[in-house]
Amino acid sequence: MAKDRHEEQRPPSRAPNPVSSTISRRGFLKGIGTGAITAAVAPAVLMTQPDTADAQTLPGITQAQITLKVNGKPYKVDVESRTTLLSVLREKLDLTGAKLVCDRGECGGCTVLMDGKPVYACMMLALDAQGHEITTIEGLAAGDRLHPIQEAFIEHDALMCGFCTPGFVVAIKGLLDKTPNPTLDDIKRGVSGNICRCGTYPRVFQAALTAAQKMRKGG
Amino acid sequence: MEPNGQQFHVVGSRVPRVDALEKVTGRARYTADVHLPGLLYGVFVRSPYAHARITRIDVSKARALPGVMAVMTQQDLTEDQALVIQEEVHATRRVLNLFATDKVTYQGQKIAAIAAVSREIAEDAVRLVEVEYDPLPAYIDPRDAAKPETTMIYDDRQPVIGPHGETLHNVAGESHHQIGDVDQGFRDADRIFEDTYIVHRAHQTYIEPQSCIAEVGPDGKVTVWSSTQGHFAVRANISSSLGIPLSQINSIGMTIGGGFGAKFGGIIDTYAVLLAQKTRRPVKIVYTREEEFLDARPAPGAVITIKTGVTHDGTITARQAFALWDPGIGSGGCGATGRIQGVYSIPNVKWDAYDIHTNKPAPGAYRAPGAPQATFASESQLNRIAHELGIDPVELRLKNMREGDQVDFKATLKAVADHVGWWQREHDTGPNQGWGVAVGEWTNGAGPGAAVVSIHEDGSVSVFSGLMDITGTDSAMAVIAAEVLGVEYQRVKVIRGDTDSAPYATASGGSVITFSMGNAVLRAAEEARERILALAAEQFAVPVDRLELRDGQVVDRDHPENAMSLAEAARLGMRTIGGPIVGRGAFAAQPSATTIAAQIAKVEVNPDTGQVRLLKYVGSLDVGRAIYALGVEGQMEGGAVQGFSWGLMEQMQYAIDGRNANPNLLDYRIPTAMDVPYVESVLVEVPTKNGPFGCKGVGEPPIAPGIAVVAGAIHDAIGVWCNEAPITPERVVMACQERKDGVRG
């Protein structure tokens, strides 16, 4: 459930020190990737030397070639242990619909589905996404036929600048696939991990309700 | 049919946004989505201190890291590569270095820029730059920074003598104004109210961070892709900062993920160009969210003391304000103190306002710059006056409102009051619930721009210009062209050119676009229409005034068999001496009209926890004419949300050493789906003379009244005035406690 996502992925409490420290929670996560690499990448081929001519990383950073299944297709990609799923999607696969906004699981701009469940792609190491089905905003429409959620967003004008829109659409898909007949409160909770600054929330709620109705009728 | 007899076929209709499809599919390309071969990633070395002397900078280890292609500090620049800031009031001219050299004046100030083959390597290199500091005391409150015992943040500043003879330090700017005689006005009053209101700094918090890519060609020509509200402004900034001729810069404006006033260039674009020049490879800079809070251009805070005299029947006789604004190391803000006049007829008004330097980043524009802060003071106090005099706050406003030109202040306020059932609200008010009302005013700006409208041989239409769409303006342009040419809205494409190809367009800020570029597009479409009608008149051998364009056809009113589709007209044009059908339109500036945003909130307050829950939020706005109705409503709703959000939750917090204490979206809270009630919009249309179809700029005014609205509602609910915004649960509880202790009533 989206509520779980909220609880799981947000840091449990505020930083005790109000002054930003040199090691961010985000940096800490990426650092963990370094240490945990042997456990995390059983299927991957580990390389201790970088494979690009002019790039070299600091000691302790390891590289690997992994396979990710995105929108139904397998992709072989070279990653560092600290590379996030979002970075692979955007930089290596040119799937730029998911956005880098806060890089620490605070805004939902990078929301993708992993095995049908919404996750923050900025908080997930690419290594950990192996063996899972990843769905991005680019995987929602069937050719030229929009997904009912996308249609409903247009119908209700549930977007302005559009930067948060892919994240909202994907989060709602995750919600409606599990909860086909949501209440307004279900919807609010379902998108509570996504932030919109243009202030279109009420229209997003309307779009989600309409989409749910359409999907129940078979899309 | 419109009330004034004008009939429209597209204007005011609820058509989908022109950019909706690319946005819901994730295909819209924002700046960070652009990848170029050989791309480098640019990052900054920043000061961890808010105020310190720099004793040593050593970049050698960073330069030696493999994958690092450039490390630049001020030493790598020529003398004329700098930001030049002129300040008129004190006739000072400051040349700001692009990088700090011997002193930093705010946390996050740039010390070096690094380009590397990956973002990760660039960040590794940042940690290898060695900088030593000698910290200085930091000033975070303008009231402290102004005291005569402080040292000047800028060595060249002189003390300024204030209106009561006091000495003010760190003055960055001043605004003074006087109408009538306030002393006499206060003598004419039966009651005089004096209150101090504090508004803290807020960040625009556009979801898309500041982003820019720069590339330099073999001939030195610079190409820049950026997230900006004005790519012509970006070109001008780069040119003046780096001494590159305009003709050697092509600025491309990408789809923008929110700006709200903060994206006019100057924050990162200059640095991307410097790094690209140095490395001869394209360089991408995308701010992290933390960098946004440390080194962008947020809205200034303000401390405003306001004094108002009224007679027993509620007539305002005088109003005076003294204000200290907090522009950090920059300037700008204090002039907005003038908004204390509001939409009222006040015979005697005076204000003295100062920008006071603090150790914080320079401010930028944020949606109706300065209006939310000043309006909080003036409208909150008006609510207090209404309460003290026992007059309904809507009645008190109606009593003092002046008659506007091309605007109906009273009708707009009444519209929202009627909509929420204001006069019967006691039947709809539970325990600890309350209602608040406030109004804000704003006059849209105007700026130069030109547009070209082309009719294609399939009868479709394109509008070409250099305007940056900020969420709805492209759709408004399509509506205007479709209306003039009598074609379907879906047949109009709106195309944005880069600065090499498009005619100049004023930047998208100050609610200027639908008014200004709308006029350019209107004129271009009219010229194309004249050309089509002339061609058809010749073809049918009939007088041109018998012809009209509707439903994609030229039709003879008297002989409907004389008809020609727009496609046929376009093809006919190609066979004539005049060639393909295009219309050109240009606009410079024309006076616009003031508008008023009136808003009402219903809240429920928990007096024990201080938690405020918004139950309802309704706003009305005199929009002149809603050209693109969904866009207008979107602006009204979005502005309202940002207004009440500043009133309830948004504050950039600074520790005593001047460091930002909440540089992330968990600790700097903006509303989520759980915080926003159903926001309703009531449109009032009093057309203007100079706006296309009578429109006004609508983007900014809806943010103005928000803080005062929620403050009024909280008082109505639990009987305490909160004069410091945002009105967080802590502040509500403290206000309740102070009332209990008898400190305030």
pLDDT of residue A33: 43
pLDDT tens-digit profile of B669-704? 999 999 999 899 999 999 999 999 999 999 999 999
Strand partners, B211: B286
Mean pLDDT for B245-267 is: 96
Q: Residue A54 has what pLDDT?
A: 44
Q: Does A24 touch chain B (CB under 8 A)?
A: yes
> B32 vs A97: CB contact, 8 Å cut-off?
no
Q: Looking at residues A58-76, what average pLDDT do you find? A: 88
CATH 1.20.1600.10 fits A2-8+23-139, yes or no: no
pLDDT of amino acid B7? 87
Give domain A148-216's CATH superfamily: [2Fe-2S]-binding domain (1.10.150.120)
pLDDT > 60? residue B715: yes
pLDDT at B82 over 50: yes
* Mutation for A interface: B613, B664, B703, most A CBs within 10 A: B664
Domains and CATH numbers, chain B: 34-136+210-286 (3.90.1170.50), 301-444+592-740 (3.30.365.10), 446-587 (3.30.365.10)
Indicate the pLDDT class of residue B92, thresholds 50, 70 and 90.
low
Query: pLDDT at position A17, please?
Result: 36
Question: A2-37 burial string, b = 16+ CB within 10 Å, else e?
Answer: beebbeebebeeebeeeebeeebebeebbeebbeeb
User: Quick one: average pLDDT of B633-650?
Assistant: 97
Q: What is the pLDDT of residues B338-393, one digit of tens each?
A: 999 999 999 999 999 999 999 999 999 999 999 999 999 999 999 999 999 999 99
**A200·B638 Cβ contact <8 A:** yes
Chain B contacts in chain A segment 143-182 (CB below 8 A): 146, 150, 153-155, 157, 159-166, 169
Q: How many residues does chain A have?
A: 219
From the list B22, B634, B672, the residue facing A195 with the nearest CB is B672
The predicted model gives B105-120 an average pLDDT of 96
8 A C-beta contact, residue B41 and residue B119: yes
Inter-residue contact B437 to B422 (CB < 8 Å): yes
The DSSP bridge pattern shows strands B222-226 and B553-556 to be unpaired
| φ, ψ (nearest 5 deg) of residue B473 | -70, -35
d(CA A212, CA B619): 29
ipTM above 0.90, yes or no: yes
Q: What is the mean pLDDT of residues B649-655?
A: 98
Q: Residues of A with CB below 8 A from B14's CB?
A: 157
B126 Cβ contact partners less than 8 Å away, ≥ 6 residues apart: B43, B44, B45, B62, B114
The pLDDT value recorded for residue B439 is 98
Cα angle for residues B315, B316, B317 (degrees, 5° grid): 110
Give the residue, A31 or A2, on which the prediction is more confident.
A31
Contact residues, B window 625-654, toward A, CB-based 8 Å cutoff: 630, 633-634, 637-642, 653
Q: Cβ contact (<8 Å) for B25 and A109?
A: no
Asked if residues B281 and B39 have their Cβ atoms less than 8 Å apart, the reply is yes
Residue with tokens 């409907």: B560
Q: What is the pLDDT of residues B535-594, one digit of tens each?
A: 999 999 999 999 999 999 999 999 999 999 999 999 999 999 889 999 999 999 999 999
Residue with tokens 């998208």: B508
| Calpha distance B263→B251 (Å, rounded) | 14
DSSP codes joined into one string, B623-676: -S--SSHHHHHHHHHHHHHHHHHHHHT----B-TTS-BS--STTTS----TTT-
Q: Is B700 a catalytic residue?
A: yes
Whether the pLDDT of residue B519 is over 50: the answer is: yes
Q: Among A218, A99, A78, A159, which Cα is nearest to B630's?
A: A159
pLDDT of amino acid B743? 66
Closest residue by Cα to residue B698 from B440, B344, B351: B440
| Interface check A90 vs B, CB under 8 A | yes
pLDDT in tens, A187-216: 999 999 999 999 999 999 999 999 999 999
Nearest to B99 by CA among B46, B58, B136, B140: B46
Yes or no, beta carbons of B670 and A197 under 8 Å apart: yes
Is the CB of A219 inside 8 Å of chain B's CB atoms?
Answer: no
Instruction: Output the pLDDT for position B663.
Output: 98
Q: In chain A, list all ranges with CATH 1.10.150.120.
A: 148-216
Q: What is the mean pLDDT of residues A150-161?
A: 97
What is the per-residue DSSP string for B288-347?
A: -HHHHHHHS--BPEEEEEEEEEE-TT--EEEEEEEEEEE-TTS---GGGGGGGGTTB--S
Residue A18: list chain B partners with CB under 8 A.
653, 655, 661-662
pLDDT for the residue numbered B152: 92
Task: Name every chain B residue with its beta carbon within 8 A of the beta carbon of A52.
Answer: 117
State the pLDDT at residue B81. 83
- 3-state DSSP call for residue A188? helix
Residue with the bigger pLDDT between B22 and B94: it is B22
Beta-sheet strands, E only, within B471-579: 492-496, 547-550, 553-556, 563-565
Report the alpha-carbon distance of residue A71 to residue A79 in Å, rounded. Answer: 19
CB A208 within 8 A of CB A182: yes
Within chain A, all domains assigned CATH 3.10.20.30 are found at 2-8+23-139
> How many other CB atoms are there within 10 angstroms of residue B571's CB atom?
18
Mutating which of A14, A201, A205 best tests the B interface, going by the most B Cβ atoms within 10 A?
A201
Instruction: Provide mean pLDDT across the span A35-56.
Output: 38
Q: What is the mean pLDDT of residues B600-606?
A: 98
Share of chain B above pLDDT 70, in %: 97
Kindly state the average pLDDT of the residues B67-72: 98
Give all strands (DSSP E) within A62-196, no chain letters: 63-70, 73-80, 111-114, 117-120, 133-135
- Closest chain B residue to A17, measured at CA: B661
pLDDT in tens, B417-474: 999 999 999 999 999 999 999 999 999 999 999 999 999 999 999 999 999 999 899 9
End-to-end CA distance of chain A: 22
pLDDT band at B157 (very low <50, low <70, confident <90, very high): confident
Count of CB atoms situated within 10 Å of the CB of B396 = 23
Please provide the DSSP assignment of B349-415 as one string: EEEEEEEE--SSPPP---SSTTHHHHHHHHHHHHHHHHHHHT--HHHHHHHHBPPPSS--HHHHHHH
User: CB-based contacts of A19: which residues, under 8 Å, 6+ apart?
Assistant: B655, B657, B659, B661
CA of A100: which chain B residue's CA is closest? B208
B258 touches chain A (CB under 8 A): yes
Contacts of B108 (CB under 8 A, 6+ apart): B46, B47, B291, B294, B295, B361, B660
Catalytic hit among B700, B724, B730, B738: B700
Shortest Cα distance, chain B CAs vs residue A214, angstroms: 17
**Cα B120 to Cα A122: distance, rounded to the nearest angstrom:** 14
What pLDDT, in 10s, does the model give residues B316-325?
999 999 999 9
Residues in CB range of B440: below 8 A, 6 or more apart: B339, B342, B368, B371, B372, B375, B379, B596, B597, B599, B701, B702, B703, B704, B705
